[in-house]
């Protein structure tokens, strides 16, 4: 035992001895017994380690005991295994502790007295994880509350207002008046869709004087497809959605189908209980379709480590842990991850319970799912069926090919084997190279090697007929890289080959012989062997290959007209090498001729070898070779095989184009789950089954053990008080800047208490009553007078409620990063409002990925995709889009329950100078140029309303007009500067001046603020 640990044990024992009660006094567990157990027993039988399944730090596990039975029988020390172990009286249980000094007689007596007195453990002596039935407010059932009475009922539009007003009246505060309607339409439009209203929408709203105008506006916005984008972006923060895998490599991934599912589900107002179940366990639903499986992408937003040498199991475990933490944050408002290595320090969640939750996700695999379009879903099975039918016909053709193949084999009788005659070549180099004859009749090129060269070869021909010339290029250890060529890589380029034949022993008076075609056992890309006889000096045969470059190769050149047998003839061949790179010459070669016809020479060597064997003497391997060779030329098979190949190519093209997405799939046999001691996946403790924390309502499994689908349904069971509270609190936070519970990510014992507990429970209960309808909850909140208040700070509120906890006014909130970009796109008239699809690549500064380990792709869009909403911007976890990051977009490494709202000089510089925002300002100016308004004043009012929805004040209008005139004068004096600001405009000076005005409007604090 380490010295420090021994010292600690001694101190604990001294403490225990110092507090020993007098005989007759009641033994106190926390004061007298627990210190003894902690010092001598918890190391092997505590929260992290439970040898023999025994855990002694909790009353319930003390009584349950381990593999040998209950450790403590209250009132009966003689029957208690704990006492038997520490007393060491020779029973079946070994004396404990096994190492070090035994417990003193006094300590043993204390434990005996405690057991005989009933083994009482007061609740406050239990660790937090063991305090079942906690009285913490968040774990209590949702209360059935009624809206309270108020002194000013006229202010109450719906029950929300009654709860808020009652608190204000108690604090002797008054609510703020309703915001101006131009402010109100901009606020609710931004809150519900993330987009500001157009001038036309503002005018229509202001002109609607009928009762219920605001409610009609709300209903229109809730029906907008952009509602799903706005609230989908909030949810994707919780899911920590990104388009890349994370960690150091951070490669791209395809999971945008999940993002689009979220948008669609919210637009359909999919009830939140189904919304949750489908994301956690959609693949396990009885009627699970494509959409339900796509929804499980929620669980696949975990990071993937692509680095070499990593342990796949380690990072699979990390992904499961992430799913638990994300689920706890998104649905339960609990910091479950704090119980990974030990019992939660504050909340009643044990480490064992953490791994029981782990078990729900441990039984899943992580596949990719193909998600075809409607057209692909129609074409793919049709092609597969056609291929299957064609392959059946092909099988029939093959089954009946025996007689045709036998006839083909018989056609080669007497023509095999092929006899090649190696020519006795005399060689000359135009570039001065030398040739060394080798024992096998080949020539090795030596000496001073020129950049390009032509080899002229002469040789006597045999007397028999001749139909083909063979050139073998051979490897040799004396060549660079072993050859067969002379450059460093061993390649060559044979640019042109010509062949002549003359009568007599010299080449004088030779006649050209046409080489009609050629075949080779290998040719490199764009270097087919036929290019060596095409008459073009800038083409040629080469053998380059990324692998296996340095191999001997063979080319056969066919004479257009075979030469008859004749005596006393001389052949002359010219091998020209004209490649632009130096020394791409053949280094060793051999030349042969034969009289075999083309159909014989086109046979592969192994086929010729098999045909040369008597049929009944052929081996199984040779029979297979012949069958496969004939299938390639079978006239009945070739057309059908070609058709099948074409169909398969079409199918491959469709499969390659089908989008995939990451999903979950339950295994047939779930993995066994263990407690990981100190959170180390390699240190396995006791085995556990899936279950939920005991502080919350019990789970009701469909089978013997609960599974992930049971867990998902338990999450949204109305009996679970956390999910409805957490969900409505998070919605409230989006509208007022903070939740009724400020610690939206922590509803545990360390979290804040709700400022309006009755309102929180009323909203949670109403959420359940309305069938978990998110749109109904949004409508309830935004139609309340509480929401519709002005956000202006009043002096009395600054003193009495500076943080607006009592909600006597609305809250000014800086827009999120994506909404700032989207608002600029709307103002500029450039917004492309397409819904969904793969991530896009808008303009960004150069050099962003210069220092990342893996250079990231950023193919800047040149079409309308560059003007898509910010939520569609491709998100690399390791290097998010700079504009969005400047305005606090999360990096998607972990679940984000609330974004930061920073205020930095860099943000102002970005709004003024970011490439995209300069482009927006240019588009804004172009739009103003085409507005159907006359005069600067009217056009400036229009510009102001496009940016801020409201009319400018006289002073604001005057300042902007003065600025416009200043810019006009400057650009008139420097037209080249105007051309830089507005390069595409017909009137560069005027457009440049209005571009500068647009840059001012887009840089206003009010523009990026929701009032």
- List, for residues 520-529, the tens digit of each pLDDT value: 999 999 999 9
Q: Averaged over 520-547, what is the pLDDT?
A: 95
Backbone φ and ψ of 67, nearest 5°:
-65, -20
The pLDDT-based confidence of 338 (bands split at 50, 70, 90) is very high
Give 111: exposed, middle or buried? Use CB within 10 Å, 0-12, 13-18, 19+.
buried
The pair of three-digit structure tokens given for residue 617, joined into one six-digit string:
């003497």
Per-residue pLDDT band for 89 (boundaries 50, 70, 90) equals low
Give the separation between CA 70 and CA 61, rounded to whole angstroms. Answer: 8
Q: Which residue has the tokens 């009945």?
A: 636
Query: Strand, coil or helix: what is 222?
Result: helix
Helical axes 936-948 vs 988-1002, angle rounded to 10°: 40
The 10s digit of each residue's pLDDT in 775-800 is 999 999 999 999 999 999 999 999 99
Judged by DSSP in three states, 389 sits in helix
CB 491 within 8 A of CB 543: yes
Confidence of residue 14 (pLDDT cuts 50, 70, 90): very low
Helices in 450-604 by DSSP H: which ranges?
Answer: 598-601
Total residues found in the chain within this entry? 1011
Tokens of 521: 């056992």
Give the start-end residues of each E strand in 419-474: 421-422, 426-429, 434-437, 443-446, 453-460, 466-473
Q: What token pair was written down for 427?
A: 């060689």
Is-contact 245 359, C-beta < 8 A?
no
pLDDT, position 128: 54
CA 413, CA 612: separation in Å to the nearest integer? 8
In this prediction, residues 305-314 reach a mean pLDDT of 94
What's the pLDDT tens digit per position in 886-930?
Answer: 999 999 999 999 999 999 999 999 999 999 999 999 999 999 998
pLDDT of residue 395: 97
Measured between alpha carbons, how far is 278 from 295 in angstroms, rounded to an integer?
A: 6
Adjacent-strand bridge partners of 470: 556, 592
Among 365, 323, 343, smallest CA distance to 715 is for 323
- For residues 140 and 747, the answer to whether their CB atoms sit within 8 Å is no
Residues 6+ apart with CB under 8 A from 305: 245, 246, 247, 248, 249, 315
pLDDT digits (tens, 9 = 90+) for 497-506: 999 999 887 7
pLDDT of residue 628: 95
Confidence of residue 849 (pLDDT cuts 50, 70, 90): confident
pLDDT (0 to 100) of residue 34:
80
Q: Taking CA 158 as the corner, what is the angle to CA 157 and CA 161, rounded to the nearest 5 degrees?
A: 80
Using CA atoms of 880, 884, 889, 893 in order, give the dihedral in degrees to the nearest 10.
-10
279 contacts: CB under 8 Å, gap ≥ 6: 239, 295, 296, 297, 298, 299, 712
CA dihedral of residues 825, 224, 235, 919 (deg, nearest 10): -10
- DSSP string for residues in 5-48: HHHHHHHHHHHHHHTPPPTTSPPPIIIIIHHHHHHHTHHHHSSS
C-beta neighbour count of 509 within 10 angstroms: 9
List, in order, residues 6 or more apart from 933 with CB less than 8 Å away: 939, 942
Give CA–CA dist 443/457, Å, rounded: 11
Cα angle, residue 470 at apex, residues 469 and 471 outer, rounded to 5°: 125
Instruction: Report which DSSP code applies to 784.
Output: S
Structure token pair of residue 197: 């209203």
Q: Is the dihedral of CA 986, 987, 992, 994 positive or negative?
A: negative
Helix axes 915-929, 905-913, angle to 10 degrees: 50
CA dist., res. 1003 & res. 820, Å (int): 10
Residue 39, pLDDT score: 78
- Predicted confidence at residue 23, as pLDDT, reads 54
Say whether pLDDT at 772 is over 60: yes
Say which DSSP state 30 is in: I
Q: Is the pLDDT of residue 19 over 90?
A: no
The answer to whether the beta carbons of residues 974 and 207 sit under 8 Å apart is no
Which of 108-122, 156-170, 819-833 shows the lowest per-residue confidence on average (mean pLDDT)?
108-122
- pLDDT at site 403: 95
The span from the CA of 338 to the CA of 335, in Å, is 6
Decide: helix, strand or coil at residue 532: helix
40-49, 752-761, 893-902: which range is least confident on average?
A: 40-49
Q: Where are the domains of the chain?
A: 3-126, 374-401+634-657, 430-595, 915-1010
pLDDT computed for residue 908 by the predictor: 95
Element (H, E) at 684: strand 684-688
Residue 15 pLDDT exceeds 70: no
Rounded CA gap, 486 and 587, in Å? 5
* pLDDT band for position 541 (cuts 50, 70, 90): very high
In terms of Cβ atoms closer than 10 Å to its own Cβ (0-12, 13-18, 19+), residue 526 is exposed
Is residue 11 very low, low, confident or very high in pLDDT (cuts 50, 70, 90)? very low
Q: Share the mean pLDDT of the chain.
A: 92
Q: Give tens-digit pLDDT for 952-1001.
A: 999 999 999 999 999 999 999 999 999 999 988 888 999 999 999 999 99
Predicted confidence at residue 24, as pLDDT, reads 56
**Which structure tokens are listed for 552?**
């001997």
Q: Which residues contact 28 (CB under 8 A, 6 or more apart)?
A: 21
Question: Residue 491 — left, alpha, or beta (φ > 0 → left; ψ -120 to 50 → alpha)?
Answer: beta
The C-alpha atoms of residue 318 and residue 320 are separated, in whole angstroms, by 5
Q: Quick one: what percent of the chain has pLDDT higher than 90?
A: 82
CA distances from 931 to 31, 901, 939 (A): 82, 35, 7
Q: What percent of the chain has pLDDT over 70?
A: 95
What is the token pair recorded at 972? 């008139």
pLDDT at 4: 42
CA distances from 640 to 389, 392, 603, 945, 964 (A): 11, 11, 22, 68, 74
Closest CA to 429 of 445, 406, 412, 417: 445
Please give the Cα distance from 333 to 346 (Å, whole number): 14
Q: Which pairing describes strands 588-594 and 443-446: parallel, antiparallel, or unpaired?
A: antiparallel
d(CA 916, CA 635): 62
- CA distances to 24, 96, 97, 109, 628 from 27, rounded to whole Å, are 9, 22, 22, 11, 90
């Amino acid at each position: 035992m380490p010295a420090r640990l021994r010292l600690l044990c001694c101190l604990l024992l001294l403490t225990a001895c110092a507090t020993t009660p007098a005989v007759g006094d009641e033994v106190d567990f926390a004061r007298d017994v627990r210190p003894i157990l902690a010092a001598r027993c918890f190391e092997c039988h505590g929260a992290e380690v439970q040898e023999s399944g025994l855990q002694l730090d909790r009353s319930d596990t003390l009584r349950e005991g381990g593999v040998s039975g209950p450790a403590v029988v209250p009132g009966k020390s003689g029957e208690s295994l704990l006492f038997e172990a520490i007393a060491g009286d020779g029973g079946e249980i070994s004396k404990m502790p096994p190492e070090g000094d035994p417990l003193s007689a006094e300590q043993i007596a204390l434990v005996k007295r405690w057991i005989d007195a009933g083994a009482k453990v007061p609740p406050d002596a239990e660790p937090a994880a063991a305090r079942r039935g906690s009285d913490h407010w968040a774990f209590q059932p949702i209360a059935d509350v009624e809206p309270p009475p108020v002194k000013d009922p006229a202010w109450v539009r719906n029950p929300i207002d009654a709860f808020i007003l009652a608190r204000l009246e108690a604090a002797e505060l008054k609510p703020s008046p309703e915001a101006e309607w131009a402010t109100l339409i901009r606020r609710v439009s931004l809150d519900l869709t993330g987009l500001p209203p157009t001038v036309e929408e503002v005018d229509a709203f202001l002109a609607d004087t009928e009762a219920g105008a605001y409610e009609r506006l709300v209903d229109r916005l809730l029906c907008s497809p952009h509602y799903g984008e706005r609230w989908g972006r909030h949810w994707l923060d919780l899911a920590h959605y990104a388009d890349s895998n994370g960690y150091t490599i951070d490669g791209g991934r395809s999971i945008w189908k999940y993002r689009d599912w979220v948008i669609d589900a919210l637009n359909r107002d999919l009830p939140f209980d189904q919304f949750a179940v489908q994301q956690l366990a959609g693949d396990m639903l009885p009627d699970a379709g494509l959409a339900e499986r796509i929804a499980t992408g929620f669980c696949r937003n975990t990071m993937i480590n692509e680095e070499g040498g990593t342990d796949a199991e380690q990072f699979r475990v990390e992904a499961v842990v992430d799913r638990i933490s994300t689920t706890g944050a998104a649905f339960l408002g609990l910091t479950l991850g704090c119980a990974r290595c030990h019992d939660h320090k504050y909340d009643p969640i044990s480490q064992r319970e953490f791994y029981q939750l782990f078990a729900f996700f441990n039984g899943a695999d992580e596949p990719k799912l193909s998600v075809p379009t409607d057209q692909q879903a129609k074409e793919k099975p049709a092609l597969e069926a056609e291929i299957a039918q064609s392959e059946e016909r092909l099988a029939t053709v093959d089954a009946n090919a025996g007689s045709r193949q036998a006839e083909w084999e018989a056609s080669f009788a007497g023509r095999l084997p092929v006899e090649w005659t190696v020519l006795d070549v005399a060689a000359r180099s135009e570039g001065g190279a030398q040739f060394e004859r080798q024992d096998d009749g080949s020539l090795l090129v030596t000496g001073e090697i020129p950049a390009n060269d032509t080899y002229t070869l002469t040789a006597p021909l045999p007397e028999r007929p001749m139909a083909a010339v063979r050139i073998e290029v051979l490897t040799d250890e004396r060549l660079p890289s072993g050859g067969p060529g002379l450059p460093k890589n061993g390649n060559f380029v044979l640019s042109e080959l010509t062949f002549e034949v003359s009568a007599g022993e010299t080449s004088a008076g030779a006649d050209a012989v046409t080489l009609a075609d050629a075949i080779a056992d290998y040719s490199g890309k764009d270097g087919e062997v036929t290019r060596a006889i095409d008459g073009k000096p800038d083409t040629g045969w080469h053998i380059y290959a990324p692998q296996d470059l340095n191999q001997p190769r063979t080319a056969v050149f066919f004479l257009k007209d075979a030469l008859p047998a004749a005596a006393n003839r001389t052949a002359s061949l010219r091998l020209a090498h004209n490649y632009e790179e130096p020394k791409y010459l053949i280094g060793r070669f051999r030349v042969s001729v034969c009289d075999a016809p083309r159909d014989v020479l086109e046979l592969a060597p192994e086929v010729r070898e098999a045909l040369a064997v008597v049929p009944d003497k052929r081996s199984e391997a040779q029979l297979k070779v012949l069958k496969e060779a004939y299938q390639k030329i079978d006239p009945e098979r070739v057309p059908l095989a070609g058709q099948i190949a074409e169909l398969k190519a079409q199918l491959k093209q469709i499969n390659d184009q089908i989008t995939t997405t990451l999903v979950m799939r339950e295994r047939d046999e779930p993995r066994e789950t263990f407690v990981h001691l100190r959170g180390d996946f390699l240190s396995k403790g006791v085995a556990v089954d899936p279950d939920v924390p005991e502080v919350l309502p019990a789970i009701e499994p469909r089978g013997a053990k609960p599974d992930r689908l049971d867990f998902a349904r338990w999450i949204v069971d109305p009996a679970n008080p956390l999910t409805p509270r957490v969900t409505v609190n998070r919605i409230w936070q989006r509208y007022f800047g903070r939740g009724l519970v400020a610690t939206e990510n922590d509803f545990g014992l360390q979290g804040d208490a709700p400022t309006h507990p009755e309102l929180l429970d009323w909203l949670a209960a109403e959420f359940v009553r309305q069938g978990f309808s998110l749109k109904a909850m949004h409508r309830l909140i935004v139609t309340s007078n509480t929401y519709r208040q002005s956000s202006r700070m009043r002096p009395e509120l600054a003193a009495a409620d500076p943080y607006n906890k009592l909600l006597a006014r609305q809250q000014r909130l800086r827009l999120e990063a994506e909404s700032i970009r989207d608002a600029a796109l709307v103002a500029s008239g450039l917004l492309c409002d397409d819904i969904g699809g793969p991530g896009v690549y808008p303009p960004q500064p150069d050099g962003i990925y210069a220092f990342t380990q893996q250079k990231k792709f950023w193919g800047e869009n040149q079409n309308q995709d560059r003007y898509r909403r910010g939520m569609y911007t491709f998100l690399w976890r390791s290097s998010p889009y700079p504009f969005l990051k400047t305005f606090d977009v999360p990096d998607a490494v972990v679940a984000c329950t609330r974004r930061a709202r920073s205020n930095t000089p860099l943000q102002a510089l970005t709004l003024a100078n970011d490439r995209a925002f300069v482009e927006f300002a240019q588009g804004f100016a172009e739009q103003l140029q085409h507005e159907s308004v006359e005069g600067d004043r009217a056009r400036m009012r229009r510009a102001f309303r496009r940016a801020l929805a409201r009319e400018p004040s006289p002073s604001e209008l005057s300042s902007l007009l003065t600025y416009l005139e200043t810019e006009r004068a400057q650009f008139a004096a420097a037209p080249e500067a105007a051309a830089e600001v507005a390069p595409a405009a017909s009137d560069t000076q005027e457009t440049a001046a209005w571009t500068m005005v647009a840059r001012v409007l887009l840089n206003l604090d009010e523009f990026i603020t929701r009032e």
